[in-house]
Structure 1
Amino acid sequence: MLSFSATIHDQLRYRLASRQQAGLLRQLRTADELIDFCSNDYLGFARSTSLKDAIRQADLEHVNNRTGATGSRLLAGHTALAEAVESELAGFYQTEASLIFNSGYDANIGLLANLPQRGDTLLTDELIHASMIDGARLSYATRHRFGHNDLNDLEHKLRQATGQVFVAVESVYSMDGDQAPLRDLTDLCDHYGAALLVDEAHATGVYGPNGEGLVVALGLQDRVFARVHTFGKALGVHGAAVVGPAVLRDYLVNFARSFVYTTALPPHSLLAIRCAHRHLQHEPHAQREVHKRVRYFKQKAHELLPDTLWTDSESPIQCLIVPGNDAARSVAAKAQQAGFDVRAILSPTVPIGQERLRVCIHAFNSEEEINTLLLLIKS
């Protein structure tokens, strides 16, 4: 135990040593030479030469040659390009308006911290992403969690809620890969007058006729109040947008601190976002291919290992439960030694006993790579 006289350096070293002793020390490391079964680049856009060429050409043709935004959107950082891209995004995601944020984290912080007010109620699925949790913590609304995808628990809390009620979920959950029951959720929210907020981070590009996400795939875009779409996963670029009614955009421009007080994305990022969405519409084979690979992986995985070891996922996120941090870390390490980039997800990120290997399937993963990885895991 540290004394009060310990220096700040000693305090930090002590906390890091404690984490290392618990086997939870995080470290940055590269994995450039490994076969990718880890990243969120589901469609392979981040490595697409045709998308890279399109972005490079858009940069050359863009009349404004600034390399940076030079300020926040409310000061020097707002441009005609930003307005044009946001208008295109609103059309693509079949809604009235969109507002670009610098990342999905910023978008969730801005939405959840500033939309629900004091006296309102914010109900969140217990497995929402850390960015949504952090946004909810900053809100002055009363917050309650409901059991994961548990409609009965949610309805019980809806009956007790006061003020304007908001319900926050993910469409595809990042740690389990399963889907929210969005049709039933919209029915419940409509019945109780609640506003549904959906983080589409892991559905963007993967679901929907053109990759618009799970909400559009189910035809629910007019019944969901706000959606968050991130572009650093399947779209292979950077940034995010909150999409919804025009009044929501105006509200966030005025009150979302993660929008108001940050330097805007540079022109290059805005052009990349535009190019990625156009590429998505012109290259539908990538979306078909990733779902084909997911079906193949699931078929082979369930032939080799018991169904009870896998989370219930139809998405590119496939998780094998390997209880215990040491066990999960050991299997992941052996996969990496064999040339596969597979990562262990440890407690407390997931509950104790639910430690796992998180295997991400991509359009570019071959059947041979899938077979070899699964046989390695089984061994």
Structure 2
Amino acid sequence: PLFEQVEHSIATYHQTETSLIFNSGYDANIGVFSSLPQRNDLVFYDEYSHASIRDGLRLSLSKSQSYKHNDFEDLEKKIKKTAALSTVWIVTEAVFSMDGDSPDWEKLAQICNRFDINLIIDEAHATGVLTDLPKMYQQTTLENHLTARIVTFGKALGCHGAAVLGNQLLKNYLINFARSLIFTTALPPLALATIAAAYESLQDKSVGEKLQKNIDYFNQNIQNLGLKNGFLPSRSAIHCYIVSGNEQAKKLSFQLETSGFDVRPILSPTVPAGKERLRFCLHAFNDEKQIIEALSVLQKHD
């Protein structure tokens, strides 16, 4: 009953029919991508997709190939070239973890409508942050193609676990075929209570509004301080400042740390050589003074 109660709360919040809890985001993606696409299906995934998506596809009987990051012209060319006789899936993320950007939803919807695509979206870094996604899926007609959405609890919600969102047929299928769900011990009651409490906290809209104000203020001031060229464009809580070279990235991260800011360096080979970066993750509890002080450290370096 506790699992059912929490899964019902999750489904209600995300405006979907059902949810199915997994032990982690990694387990959820392994379960979904290893079992949903079938033999001879063709899966196109964004080249910046998370490692768990790629690992799940490696376990699948389907065929898969990447397309250039958020490049829907490249995706369309590949679909036209290879997909005529196959069931086609597209996999993308609502917010990409190493860049902080999102797909062009209108262009994605056009492709899904044109080729009758099955769509899976990983919402790990959007969970609790981009609260208008269900409305956007409806307005763009993407909801007509959405087979599954994956949300995780280890980012904005600060706890453990993940859930796959979809209809009852999807849930029944995964219960029977997702090995990363079946052949492992379920989350304990304490973890479920923590998840339930985290979703309860999302009812306070002021927290999300404060985060959005911080995102807007951050973007405004990277421009005011002449730092815009160093940052990748982002409207999410993730903002990445490119610092070429692992040692340079670590050095600048240490400078921020000594100023009181925990900003982690993302090093190659996690990201391509020459594209090393500092990843700023904004929170609702940050204030304007902290944002200016952190950016001032970059300004001195720049």
Matched, 1:126 2:47: yes
Aligned to 1:235: 157
Aligned partners of 2:257, 2:60: CA distance in 1, in Å? 41
| Gap runs ≥5 in structure 1 | 1-79
Aligned to 1:110: 31
Aligned to 1:181: 104
The letter for the 1-side match of 2:186 is: A
Task: Decide whether the 8 Å contact of 2:112 with 2:145 is kept in 1.
Answer: no
| Gap runs ≥5 in structure 2 | none
Query: Quick check: which has more Rg, 1 or 2?
Result: 1
2:200 aligned counterpart, secondary structure:
helix
Aligned partners of 1:337, 1:190: CA distance in 2, in Å? 51
Q: TM-score, normalised by structure 2?
A: 0.93
Q: How much has 1:217 moved relative to structure 2?
A: 4.3
Matched, 1:164 2:164: no
Aligned to 1:332: 253
Task: Decide whether the 8 Å contact of 2:150 with 2:162 is kept in 1.
Answer: yes
| Counterparts of residues 282-301 of structure 1 (less than 5 Å) | 283-301=204-222
Q: 1:216 to 1:101 in 2, by over 3 A?
A: farther
Aligned partners of 2:126, 2:241: CA distance in 1, in Å? 20
Identity %: 47
Aligned partners of 1:338, 1:86: CA distance in 2, in Å? 42
Aligned to 2:18: 97
Q: How much has 1:306 moved relative to structure 2?
A: 3.8
Task: Decide whether the 8 Å contact of 2:227 with 2:299 is kept in 1.
Answer: no
Task: Decide whether the 8 Å contact of 2:116 with 2:145 is kept in 1.
Answer: no
Task: Decide whether the 8 Å contact of 2:28 with 2:150 is kept in 1.
Answer: yes
Of the three residues 155, 166, 169, the one matched with 1:244 is 166
Aligned partners of 1:187, 1:85: CA distance in 2, in Å? 35
Aligned to 1:190: 113
Q: TM-score, normalised by structure 1?
A: 0.75
Aligned to 1:369: 290
Task: Decide whether the 8 Å contact of 1:208 with 1:217 is kept in 2.
Answer: no
Aligned partners of 1:115, 1:103: CA distance in 2, in Å? 18
1:339 aligned counterpart, secondary structure:
coil
Task: Decide whether the 8 Å contact of 1:186 with 1:224 is kept in 2.
Answer: no
1:329 aligned counterpart, secondary structure:
helix
The letter for the 1-side match of 2:190 is: H
1:235 aligned counterpart, secondary structure:
coil
Task: Decide whether the 8 Å contact of 2:124 with 2:151 is kept in 1.
Answer: yes
Q: 1:179 to 1:235 in 2, by over 3 A?
A: same
- Give the CA RMSD over aligned residues: 1.5
| Counterparts of residues 1-379 of structure 1 (less than 5 Å) | 80-159=1-80, 160-161=82-83, 162-209=85-132, 214-219=133-138, 220-281=142-203, 283-379=204-300
Q: How much has 1:263 moved relative to structure 2?
A: 0.5
The letter for the 1-side match of 2:112 is: C
Task: Decide whether the 8 Å contact of 1:207 with 1:217 is kept in 2.
Answer: no
Q: 1:270 to 1:217 in 2, by over 3 A?
A: farther
Aligned partners of 2:68, 2:234: CA distance in 1, in Å? 18
